[in-house]
Amino acid sequence: MKNLILNSNPQVSDKFKTYSKEVKPKLEKLRSLILEVASNIESIEEIEETLKWGEPSYLVKKGSTIRIDWKAKAPEQYAIYFKCTSKLVSSFREMYGNSFNYENNRALIFKLGQKLPEKKLKKCIAAALQYHLLKDQPNLGLQA
C-alpha cells in the first residue's frame, strides 16, 4: 500500500457527524474501503473527498465519481452510488448478479444489518476508480 494523497473537504467530516450511531460506522466502512482500494491502485496518487449533492464523494483522475450516503426515506439501508450514465452498475449486475441489491443503474444498496460482500465490492470500487481506463473492456475487466 502506497501513500495516497487525500484532499478532504472539511464539510465531509461535518456530514459524517450528522449520521446516526447505527449508520455512521457503515458509511465509515465504505469510505475506508474506497480509500484502501485507491491506495492499492498504482496509477492513483491522489483522491479528492468532497460533497456532491450533499453526499460524501470520492474523485480520482481517470475515474468515475463514487458517492456514499444514507437517506431518511429508506432508514434501514445505505448505498454506494455511481454515475448512472456509466456502464458500472450494469457491469456489476452482469458479473455479480444477486451478490448485491441494485438501485437501477446508479447504486449498490446495503441493509444496515447486512455483512458487506467486501471482496466483490472492492472490485466494483476499483472499476469505478479506473473507469476511464477500463470502460472499453468487456464488463470493465471485472472478474467473478
pLDDT, tens only, 74-130: 999 999 999 999 999 999 999 999 999 999 999 999 999 999 999 999 999 999 999
Q: What is this structure's pTM?
A: 0.96
| H-run or E-run covering 78 | strand 77-82
**3-class DSSP state of 7:** strand
Residue 7 has pLDDT above 90, yes or no: yes
The three cell numbers of residue 109 are 444498496
- In this structure, are residues 117 and 55 in contact, taking their beta carbons and an 8 Å threshold? no
Domain architecture of the chain: domains with CATH: 5-134 (3.90.1150.200)
Burial class (CB in 10 A: 0-12, 13-18, 19+), 102: middle
Strand order in the sheet with 101-103: 5-8, 46-52, 55-59, 66-70, 77-82, 107-111, 101-103
